Amino acid sequence: MYKKINTPLIDEVIKELKAGDNVLITGKIYTARDAAHKRMIESLNNGQELPIDIKDQVIYYVGPCPAKPGQVVGSCGPTTSGRMDAYTPKLLEIGLKGMIGKGYRNKDVVEAMMKYHAVYFTAIGGAGALLSERVVDSKVVAYEDLGPEAIHLFTVVDFPAIVTIDMYGNNLYETEKDKYKKRNY
């Protein structure tokens, strides 16, 4: 069973999402990886505005491959989220509400998610070609010089993800370990 959610993400929706929920996301989401995150934080630290308004938005940690003829975007699988951990609490503080990636998040990120009411989604790594089929529009909106790591604005329809850490701090990377350790393979 999937919960259908739309962006921008609002607190009323985030409060209903629980770790383990399967979701289908429809709407606009930004893409950003390491280099773009570093630039955004440098801008904020220098008193400058960000090139995008992230209030109530979702950032997908991806550097999409170039589109082949007839495609909107090439393969776009998630990258490891931990590389953004140093930058994430500040972005959550100024209004970011959702992140899509893969892998663990550190304690500071989880605490900031709880404080500022945000959610972390996991997309399935290795399924980038399939995920690209859920992107119906893509355009570069900032840091074009970064190539694939530029910030893109994706329009997605029924983009599949799993709520991995909810705004209450429930974290599948912690709660599910023991369940899988006990399996007899």
List residues with catalytic annotation.
37
Q: How far is CA 33 from CA 79, 82, 134, in A?
A: 8, 11, 20
In degrees and rounded to multiples of 5, residue 32 shows phi and psi of: -165, 140
Task: State which H helix or E strand residue 173 sits in.
Answer: helix 172-175
Tokens at residue 83, please?
């590389």
Residues 150, 91, 153, CA angle at the centre, nearest 5°? Answer: 35
Under a CB-based contact definition with an 8 Å cutoff, are residues 120 and 164 in contact?
yes
The helix, strand and coil proportions of the chain, stated in percent and rounded to the nearest 5, come to: 30, 30, 40
> Who contacts 168 (Cβ-Cβ below 8 Å, separation ≥6)?
18, 114
**Is the peptide bond prior to 89 cis by the omega test (within 30 degrees of 0)?**
no
